Amino acid sequence: MQTVWLLIVSSIALYVIRLYTEFRRNVKTIGDFPGYRTLLAGPPARGLLATFLPQILGISQGRMNLWRSKHKDFEYFGSHIYSSVNIWPKSTCQFRVADPSAIKEITSSRTRFPKPVEAYQVLKFFGDNIVVAEGDEWKKHRKVANPENNRMVWEETVKIVNDMFQNAWREQEEVVVDHCVDVTLTVALLVIGTAGFGRNISWESDLQIPPGHQMSFKEALNVVSVGMFSKAILPRWAMRLTHRLRTINLAFSELQLYMQTMIDERKNAEKKVERYDLFSSLLDASEEESDGLAKLSDSELRGNIFIFMLAGHETTAHTLCFCFALLALYQEEQEILLQHINSVLPGGRTPTYEDMGALTYSMAVFYETLRLFPPVNGIPKRCEEDATLVTTTTAGEKLVVAIPKGSAISLHIPGLHYNPRYWKDPHEFKPKRFLEDYNRDAFLPFSGGARSCIGRRFFETEGIAILTSIVQKYKIEVKEEPQFANETFDERRARLLDCKIGVTLTPIRVPLVFKRRA
């Protein structure tokens, strides 16, 4: 028995020594470049245990580290690039980058700094798609995923918002919402459903559960987006253990059924309706080859539908929720925006697609919200060969950083967006900065290079239409609640803008009041 225990202890000791030796080798490989040294891997290439832990010095950087630290870590380590080396489960070298020039070099070179698609396998629930593909496979998905019909996006968005005013809010003088995301998620879902996938539904009809289903389309998609992580890490049998897990499981089945029904109805329609939406492009690609690229399989078709629905409603909804919270907090900015809207749309006329280019302050408010609350905090890349990146120290001196082959790289978006070198008073809400000269490489809410967000123009068109339409008709205020009667402005701001990491940066609770303008 004593021999057995000796073998166990010896094996553990050898394992620990091996881990530590590999860790020290990696630290030496990067020349002990300043940064974190932790037991567990940090985001986005983190292990399962590190996902649940908060930031603990020497142990874990925590899931919220990129967001919570913003630019502080770069200031602490004295450079716009810093390193991270962990010990377990496997020692890895990682570099966090908040330098716009270095980021531009990374995103412009897909061969030297490719996307580590293995980090996105969680998004393959319904099939391969544009997010998880790379190389020729990515080209196939990118070729057909062309959601550009911006006039239709604008017109459908304005129609849906007006439908909300009439049938959901019923032209009330005052609409109180306990969490603004309940409003923005529904609007964004109806927009992506109608403009992206031809689901002609109204505000009220989407709340109904159709025959053959146990959930509405909206509920199924929302539960899937919230429950993705549980579905990814738990074995199939565990998804039946609790009511919450069974609901998530059901939502995945329901969403797949909705998507397949959409596909079957469009494919089997006796009369083909000529549409120029994303769904039509995807369906065409599943029926015939294009430019020598293979057809999309049924699972790839479902996978892409899911990705565009998920990204197309959640990102917009959360950004607009933060946007309305900021306007409620900063009433003077809301008034500037209103006056600008009235100057472009005199007499309260309905905004048209032709007005979008003139609604510059709406765009500025939208962009400033994205700067302050970037939907994705860390964009992973991998270094395929020994490379160097040029950056500066926080004192402004040039610094050349050696990046060994195999290193993980994270484009640190909050670090970039809160970098005082490129943004004056970076923590302040100042939309006007986007009407002045600014470093466009220091603004990266949609990533950059060839792998930048394919739905950017759809997202901007929809967002500006919703923002303009609502501010034109309603004044937005913070809902007064007795338990917060004595809070300071800073406390109120922190409460309304509190958030968590989900598929995208997610507001926790934004209680607002929409008051109809005279």
Residue ranges for the known binding site for heme are 453
The tokens for 235 are: 């074995």
What sign does the dihedral 47-53-57-59 (CA atoms) show?
negative
Rounded to whole angstroms, the Cα distance separating 401 from 190 reads 47
Residue 389, SS3? Answer: strand
CB 363 within 8 A of CB 460: yes
Query: Residue 135 to residues 117, 284, 379, 456: CA-CA distances in angstroms?
Result: 10, 22, 18, 22
Rounded to whole angstroms, the Cα distance separating 196 from 280 reads 9
Residue 511 CB neighbour total at 10 angstroms: 18
Closest CA to 194 of 318, 266, 278: 278
Length of the chain counted residue by residue: 518
Strands (E), 253-328: none
Strands 81-88 and 35-40: parallel
User: What is the maximal distance between C-alpha atoms in the chain?
Assistant: 90
CB 277 within 8 A of CB 149: yes
Residue 506, SS3? Answer: strand
Q: Please compute, for residue 167, the number of CA atoms within 13 A of its CA located in the half-sphere on the CB side.
A: 14
CB 218 within 8 A of CB 209: no
Residues 6+ apart with CB under 8 A from 82: 33, 34, 35, 36, 73, 74, 95, 96
Binding residues: 453
The secondary structure of residue 293, as a DSSP letter, is B
The tokens for 86 are: 């962990």
Strands 81-88 and 93-97: antiparallel
Burial 414-434 (b: 16+ CB within 10 A, else e): bbbbbbebbbeebeebbbebb
